[in-house]
Amino acid sequence: MIDTRINRVLVEEGATSSAMSKRILKRLHGLPVGHVSPDSTYQKPEFLDMDKETLRLISFNGEFLKPCPGTPGYICCGYQILHVGTNCPMDCTYCILQAYFNEPSLRIFVNLEERLERIGQVIDSQPEKIFRIGTGEFTDSLAHDHIVGWCHTLLPFFFDRKNVVLELKTKTNRIEGLLSSQYRDQIIVSWSLNSPYISNREEKRAPSIKRRLQAAKRCQEEGYTLGFHFDPLIEHPNWKEEYTRTLEMMDSYINPTGIIWISLGCLRYIPVLKTIIRKRHPDTHILDGEFIPGLDGKMRYFKPIRIDIYSFMAEMLKKWHKELGIYLCMESDEVWYKSLGWSPKDSKGLCQFLDGRVREVFG
Amino acid sequence: MDIRHFSDNIPVLVDAKDIDGSPGPFSMSFGFDLKPLIRSIEKSGLINTPFLIRGNNGNMLPVVGFRRILALKSLQWTKIPYVDLSDAGLSVLDLILLNLNDNLTTRKFNDVEKGMILYRLIPHVTRDEILRHYMPLLSLPSHESSLDLFLKIEELDTIIKRSIADGTVSMKAIGQILDMDHESRMNVFIWLKKIKFNFNQQIQFTEYIKDISIKEEKSITHILGGEKLVKLLEDKKLNNPQKAKHVLHYLRSRRFPLLTDSEKSFRKNLSRLNLPKGVRIQHPPFFETPHYRLEILFRNGKELKEKIDYLAELDRLEMIEDPWEKDFS
């Protein structure tokens, strides 16, 4: 299990009456509950404190389903983000959400259920398009599932829509909601993986790689399609041996034929995040690499380093199994060719490749 | 707080020695030149009376007019007229704001003074109010990080504060050295002052030093005391701009060894091609895109054709490739 330390709940105006709020408050019975206005700065934490001890229930007014913004100059997978909340109880050194310190606390959008019908209309209105939807962009897809019940809400909604897959992306082993659900079709459960070295040092409060893979194995045994994301790949001492350890564990626990895709993405960050990482995690070495400004303004490893890392990972993964749906996250056509030996050319090509994987797996 | 109420007060005299000589908890003055004020008082006398308040130890503390008090003391005035605010029923925040508003209308604050203001306000005003109201008032961005930076200025050594106040050290560079231990901070500061880097170079220098210290797990003092850097610093044949260039080049190559090796190899390989005069080949910034750039300088079509013909005959041109692949010599 992950290490959650929620010690209070704040309910924003407009969020009180939702069924999800009531369910959450029932499950967290006994914790102090405060009622605040949406723009409230009520007991705002210190600068750079993410206030991961507070669960904030919010009636979200923005778009719940949004395309991944991608990044200029690089090939994007055309993912759709289902915005169910922000922040997560884990505290990974490299997390981009640290840059959004003006929105602290663990935030749950409790009007999700009320907005699902509209999301369904959007999906159903384009039956020829495959929607690859994920909830793990701004939060962990399963970290709060035992409190919120996302699996209970989302799995039955998506399972019988044939032009959509829902990917639940996690670092946790919180799979009770998945195991108790009867729905498998159109659902992908994905784990974010790294080397044990990085996991131990940089993914604070997250379960070990072994525990993640044990959870993945259990889900696979229960009939779920799996995905894996090596993102961010980080150069560190003996990184080849360390990442090989993770791949060996994958081999021990996972049947590769049940994997829809594995993404690879080297560490990249917006420049402002460097200062925040230095302040929040002064002992980290993740910024030691040779980072240069990319075409999108984000800092990324000097190209030959990225190619070296991707080539190694791809080669090792291909040795394990030929058809793993390996793809690169936010990389250039050139890096694709030099690392994987082929390229989808552009974002459209990558979408077609991944849509093809969806059709192969789910029919 | 009613300002008219204060103007009704009749000034009284106090012994100059009874007035505290430091800015105290309400004033925000640092790094100023007192001479113009002294000359003004010499010519026209004291036009505006300082406001004082009695401190805990019986001394009078300046609320408004700290610089005037210093000028009067410098002019050997033994008795100084003042308005006593001791019984005006004003809170500490009222007194700080009295000073702030008095100054805001007449002058600009330097960055140290802005830090002093925020430092004095922070115990009495919420961070949100400071961000929303006071940061814009001081022409500062309403960012938490900016507020934190300016709050920490107050804790710096006076020598560093002077450089901030006179604008010779970049606030971004200061931001980089604020969280260093005292010894490291002072060492970096000494380098900034000795080499006289420009602002961009100051930021690069501090960033490289910090990154190298973390990457190599060596103290900043150890890195700055390294033979190569000390030699550059003491090299009498180099002027400051040259020293700055060499120091930054050395630190960059230490921080980015593969990138700088690639750039060096590329330059070396290009020099072997014997490109004609006026022809230049450039690699993309950081080699991130795959495209190299060819630039030909020519006077007319004939010269252009000659240069293109010459290039077409250069066999080695085909060997241009990313320098980490292999030498194209």
Q: Which residue, A241, A246, A111, A239, is CA-closest to A171? A: A246
- How much is the ipTM here? 0.91
Using CB atoms, pick whichever of A278, A279, A295 lies closest to residue B288. A295
Is A129 inside a domain boundary?
yes
In B, minimum Cα distance to A297 occurs at B288
In A, minimum Cα distance to B288 occurs at A303
Query: Is the minimum CB–CB distance between A294 and chain B shorter than 8 Å?
Result: yes
Is A61 inside a domain boundary?
yes
pLDDT for A93: 97
- Percentage above 70 pLDDT, chain B: 96
Residues of chain A contacting residue B259, judged by C-beta atoms under 8 Å apart = 290, 292, 302
Chain A residues 86-105 with CB within 8 Å of chain B: 101-102
The answer to whether the Cβ–Cβ distance between B259 and A41 falls below 8 Å is no
- SS3 (DSSP) at A143: coil
Between the CA of residue B281 and those of A37, A334, A350, B298, B319, what are the distances in Å? 60, 20, 33, 15, 13
Is A152 inside a domain boundary?
yes
Is A1 inside a domain boundary?
no
pLDDT tens column, A44-95: 556 677 889 999 999 999 999 999 888 888 999 999 999 999 999 999 999 9
> How many other C-beta atoms lie within 10 A of the C-beta of residue A115?
17
The answer to whether the Cβ–Cβ distance between A302 and B322 falls below 8 Å is no
pLDDT for A256: 98
Q: A287 and B214 in contact (C-beta within 8 Å)?
A: yes
Which comes out higher in pLDDT, residue B251 or B32?
B251
- SS3 (DSSP) at B25: coil
Using CB atoms, pick whichever of A73, A295, A302 lies closest to residue B259. A302
Query: Is the minimum CB–CB distance between A237 and chain B shorter than 8 Å?
Result: no
Q: How confident is the model at residue B327 (pLDDT cuts 50, 70, 90)?
A: low
pLDDT for A38: 83
The answer to whether the Cβ–Cβ distance between B288 and A292 falls below 8 Å is yes
Could you list the residue range(s) of the whole structural domain that residue A321 is in?
A: 8-362
| CB-count exposure of residue A159 (10 Å: 0-12, 13-18, 19+) | middle
In A, minimum Cα distance to B213 occurs at A288
Side-chain-facing half-sphere of B279: CA atoms under 13 Å = 19
* Helical spans, DSSP H, in chain A: 19-27, 112-124, 145-148, 150-158, 176-179, 196-202, 209-221, 239-253, 271-280, 303-320, 333-340, 347-362
Using CB atoms, pick whichever of B128, B256, B290 lies closest to residue A41. B128
Between the CA of residue B9 and those of A103, B24, B107, what are the distances in Å? 49, 22, 25
Q: Which residue, A108, A147, A183, is CA-closest to A1? A: A147
Mean pLDDT, residues A341-359 taken together: 97
The answer to whether the Cβ–Cβ distance between A292 and B322 falls below 8 Å is no
Residues with Cβ within 8 Å of B207's Cβ and at least 6 positions away in sequence, in order, are B176
* Helical spans, DSSP H, in B105-178: 111-121, 127-129, 135-137, 144-153, 158-165, 171-177
- Percentage above 90 pLDDT, chain B: 77
What is the total count of domains within chain A? 1
Is A298 inside a domain boundary?
yes
Query: Is the minimum CB–CB distance between A305 and chain B shorter than 8 Å?
Result: yes
Query: What pTM did the predictor assign?
Result: 0.89
pLDDT tens column, B288-313: 999 999 999 999 999 999 999 999 99
Flag whether pLDDT at A132 surpasses 50. Answer: yes
The answer to whether the Cβ–Cβ distance between B214 and A288 falls below 8 Å is yes
Residues of chain B contacting residue A305, judged by C-beta atoms under 8 Å apart = 258
Flag whether pLDDT at B209 surpasses 80. Answer: yes
Q: What CATH number did the domain enclosing A306 receive?
A: 3.80.30.30
Q: Which residue, B172, B185, B282, B272, is CA-closest to B224? A: B185
pLDDT tens column, B44-102: 999 889 999 998 888 899 999 999 999 999 999 999 999 999 888 899 999 999 999 98
Radius of gyration for the alpha carbons in chain A, expressed in angstroms and rounded:
20
Is A2 inside a domain boundary?
no
One-letter amino acid identity for B250? Y
Q: How confident is the model at residue A1 (pLDDT cuts 50, 70, 90)?
A: low
Which strands make up the sheet holding A187-192, listed edge to edge?
A: A65-67, A80-82, A131-134, A164-170, A187-192, A225-233, A259-266, A326-328
Backbone φ/ψ region at B181: left (φ over 0), alpha (ψ -120 to 50), beta: beta
The answer to whether the Cβ–Cβ distance between B128 and A44 falls below 8 Å is yes
Is A309 inside a domain boundary?
yes
Residues of chain A contacting residue B145, judged by C-beta atoms under 8 Å apart = 47, 275
pLDDT for A47: 60
